[in-house]
Amino acid sequence: MGLDFFGLTLENSQVYRKNLFTQIHNIVFHGNGGYSWADIYNMPRWLRLFTLKEIENHFKKQKEQYDNASSDGSSTVVGPDGKINPKNFKINQPRHLNHQLHRVQNIETN
């Protein structure tokens, strides 16, 4: 019986460990204080992956809602009378939404 009996070898154990700690970090960080490091570390793999997927879905829905709310057609900021129309200011999407969604999507699940 070799060292790879349980599926881990010296070559892939470091990659698995990095992915595990990345998942733990992202769930704790993006879970907004709902999880501790120990909770996630001791969580079964299937539940950890499910939690990670639910966080990803949450940020996707949040981004879609923001995109739908901020897309109001082809209105202009300056009206025909030369005055600024504050209702037509387009608000840029907060960077944290794209950043969080990108981090959650790029996690390799092993």
Q: pLDDT digit string (tens) for 56-100?
A: 999 999 988 887 776 655 566 677 787 777 666 666 556 555 556
Domain membership flag for residue 90: yes
Backbone phi, then psi, for 106, in 5-degree steps? -90, 10
Domain membership flag for residue 46: yes
Backbone phi, then psi, for 84, in 5-degree steps? -75, 135
CA within 13 Å, CB half, 92: 4
Residue 55 has pLDDT above 60, yes or no: yes
Domain membership flag for residue 32: yes
Domain membership flag for residue 76: no
- Per the structure, the complete domain to which residue 101 belongs is given by 13-70+81-105
Number of domains present in the structure of the chain: 1
Domain membership flag for residue 57: yes
**Confidence at residue 12, expressed as pLDDT on a 0 to 100 scale:** 81
**Confidence at residue 76, expressed as pLDDT on a 0 to 100 scale:** 64
Domain membership flag for residue 5: no
pLDDT tier at 108, thresholds 50, 70, 90: very low
Domain membership flag for residue 23: yes
